[in-house]
Amino acid sequence: MLEEIYQEVVNKDPDQPEFHQAVREVLESLEPVLDKHPEYRRYKIVERVVEPDRVLMFRVPWTTDDGEIQVNRGFRVEFNNAIGPYKGGLRFHPSVNLGILKFLGFEQVFKNALTGLPIGGGKGGSDFDPKGKSDHEVMRFCQSFMSELFRHIGPNTDIPAGDIGVGGREIGYLFGMYKKLVNEWAGVLTGKGLSYGGSLVRPEATGYGSVYFAQEMLKTRNETLEGKTCLVSGSGNVAQFTTEKLLDLGGKVVTLSDSSGFIYDEEGIDRDKLAFVMDLKNIQRGRIKEYVEKYSSAQYTEWNAFDKPTDYDPKWDVKADCAFPSATQNEINEKDAQNLVNNGVYVVSEGANMPTVPAGVEVFLQEKILYGPGKAANAGGVATSGLEMAQNAAFSSWTRKEVDSRLHEIMVNIHAMAADAAEQYGQPGNYVLGANAAGFRKVAEAIIAQGVV
């Protein structure tokens, strides 16, 4: 039955492979859940959750500094609001298309359910590439993007946030335009600056959360992160704060990457080196290879993610204990997963969304390593966005300690929920099954309660 539903998803939109992959991964976990809850089949919950509530697609015209007109495509996928208003990031990257945003929106529905907060799932973005653009060009693009999006979002309707290519700068420009068009200050975006309604620890939250999740997984074996060698991919928001939290907890991070290649620093990336990376990436908007010009302890290996020169990615072929993929989807293939295991990695906590292909996930499950799928491990970002919404709604702001301790508590709960569900459905330690089952059940109950709408 689930195979039939999957085939229908593929037949309806054959050109959306990432969405098919995300749907298949969830459906493969659901058989035992549906067997225990026949009402989910009767109410056609699976058929209903694979179809987004609404898909918006629009033209985004803007002008370069030279006055040349450019046209990009904007999207918002409002996937499911059974348990709360749509919530999920905006991605600005040339690879963005409807299939990728549907995969991200679909994942977001279950991830948000796992946080325990009343938030539904959505995702949006554009094929605009902020790389190499001036601040003014980025601003004009964001203003044009918002001049359409503002009609569809609102603090109780749909609350976007950042994702790849959308950080504090972009959120600021988007928020400014929303406020001007609607003539109302409303907490309609999260990831805002601290001076205008942002929450402390929101920038750190996804990376910190993914490390807290790894910490919880290690606890099941009476271990900690102290002294562990860690691989981190990416060098953006999630990678930077994953590295920071690993340093806090005594870990040693030896790699970072971008889409052109990766650096390996066998002495470890300490706080000074991390500060250099943050300045390089967030202010100078440079490339990770510049790291080796400053630090001779590191080597740089060029490996172009868009024109893959080998059938395995050398950044996963490094001796370590833990891996924190924090760049993008499908960055670990089957061979990479095997290389990780062969190199001693037994903890994988996914800061990125769906960074491991299904055959790679299978390797991790068969080898019985501690594998935290993105849906659970990176939920700290959206959870803290939920905390930003709560602070905005109450016209208050919480201390750093308070937000961080709530984030920590949420990650501990997500781990416990996923672990319990895995156990309940007969596969202890399988966090993929656990996260999918726990997230799905919460959404399913809400859909049933609300009737056929």
Please give the positions annotated as active site: 123
Q: What distance in Å separates the CA atoms of residue 116 and residue 260, rounded to the nearest whole number?
A: 38
Distance of CA 280 to the CA centre of its chain: 22
Q: CB nearest ligand NDP: which residue?
A: 236
Selected range binding ligand NDP among 245-253, 325-333, 402-410, 413-421, rule: CB under 6 A? 325-333
235 makes contact with ligand NDP (CB under 6 A) = yes
Specify the stretch interacting with ligand NDP by CB under 6 A; choose among 24-32, 135-143, 219-227, 236-244. Answer: 236-244
Of 67-75, 142-150, 158-166, 176-184, the window that binds ligand NDP (rule: CB under 6 A) is 158-166
- Could you tell me the sign of the dihedral formed by the alpha carbons of 133, 139, 140, 144, in that order? positive
- Residue 125 dihedral angles phi and psi, to the nearest 5°: 150, -160
Q: Does 126 bind ligand NDP (CB under 6 A)?
A: no
- The answer to whether 352 contacts ligand NDP (rule: CB under 6 A) is yes
Question: Which CA distances in Å does 154 have to 160, 270, 310, 386?
Answer: 9, 41, 45, 14
What is the rounded distance in angstroms from the CA atom of residue 104 to the CA atom of residue 123?
6
- CB count, 10 Å around CB of 188? 26
Handedness of CA 398, 377, 78, 101 (dihedral sign): positive
CB nearer ligand NDP, residue 117 or residue 239: 239
- Please report whether residue 236 would count as binding ligand NDP according to CB under 6 A: yes
Q: Supply the minimum distance, in Å, between the C-beta of residue 243 and ligand NDP.
A: 11
Stretch that binds ligand NDP, among 5-13, 152-160, 320-328, 415-423 (CB under 6 A): 320-328
74 binds ligand NDP (CB under 6 A): no
Q: Fill in the per-residue mask, 292 to 311: x = in contact with ligand NDP (CB under 6 A), - = not in contact.
A: -------------x------
- Of 144-152, 258-266, 341-349, 408-416, the segment contacting ligand NDP by CB under 6 A is 258-266
Report if residue 163 touches ligand NDP, rule: CB under 6 A. yes
Q: Given candidates 52, 99, 172, 381, which one binds ligand NDP under the rule CB under 6 A?
A: 381
Q: Does 16 bind ligand NDP (CB under 6 A)?
A: no
Q: Note whether 378 binds ligand NDP by CB under 6 A.
A: yes
Own/partner pairs for 128-135, CB < 8 Å, 24+ apart? 128/60, 128/72, 128/92, 128/94, 128/165, 129/92, 129/93, 129/94, 129/165, 130/92, 130/165, 130/170, 131/165, 131/285, 134/65, 135/169
Q: In 3D, which of 301, 297, 203, 287 has the Cα closest to residue 253?
A: 297
Q: Cβ atoms within 10 A of the Cβ of 147, count?
A: 17
Kindly state the smallest distance separating residue 267's Cβ from ligand NDP, in Å: 21
Mask of contacts with ligand NDP, 181-210, x by CB under 6 A? -------------------------x----
Shortest Å distance, C-beta 77 to ligand NDP? 14
Minimum distance from residue 208 beta carbon to ligand NDP (Å)? 11
Smallest distance from ligand NDP to CB 236, Å: 2
CA-nearest of 143, 329, 115 to 206 is 115
Collapsed DSSP state (helix, strand, coil) of residue 252: strand
Nearest distance from residue 305's CB to ligand NDP, in Å? 3
* Amino acid at residue number 339: N
The span from the CA of 136 to the CA of 133, in Å, is: 8
- Of residues 126, 328, 333, 339, which one binds ligand NDP by CB under 6 A? 328
Q: Are 86 and 112 in contact (CB under 8 A)?
A: no
Q: Is 259 in the site for ligand NDP (CB under 6 A)?
A: yes
162: contact with ligand NDP by CB under 6 A: yes
Q: Binding to ligand NDP by residue 234, rule CB under 6 A? A: yes
* Residue 258 sits in the site that holds ligand NDP (CB under 6 A): yes
Q: Whole-angstrom Cα distance, residue 16 to residue 229?
A: 37
Torsion angles phi and psi, residue 84, rounded to 5: 170, 175
Question: Rounded to an integer, what is the distance from CA 432 to the centroid of its chain?
Answer: 15
Number of residues that bind ligand NDP (CB under 6 A): 24
Instruction: Give whichever of 237 and 255 is closer to ligand NDP, judged by the CB atom.
Output: 237
User: Of the ranges 148-156, 322-330, 393-401, 411-419, which one interacts with ligand NDP (CB under 6 A)?
Assistant: 322-330
Angle between helices 135-149 and 168-182 (to 10 degrees): 50
Q: Which of 26, 49, 164, 189 binds ligand NDP (CB under 6 A)?
A: 164
Beta carbon nearer to ligand NDP, 199 or 378: 378
Location of structure tokens 């976007």: 160
Helices and strands, number each (H, E), in the chain: 17, 12
Q: Could you list the residues that contact ligand NDP (CB under 6 A)?
A: 162-165, 167, 206, 234-239, 258-260, 305, 326-328, 351-353, 378, 381
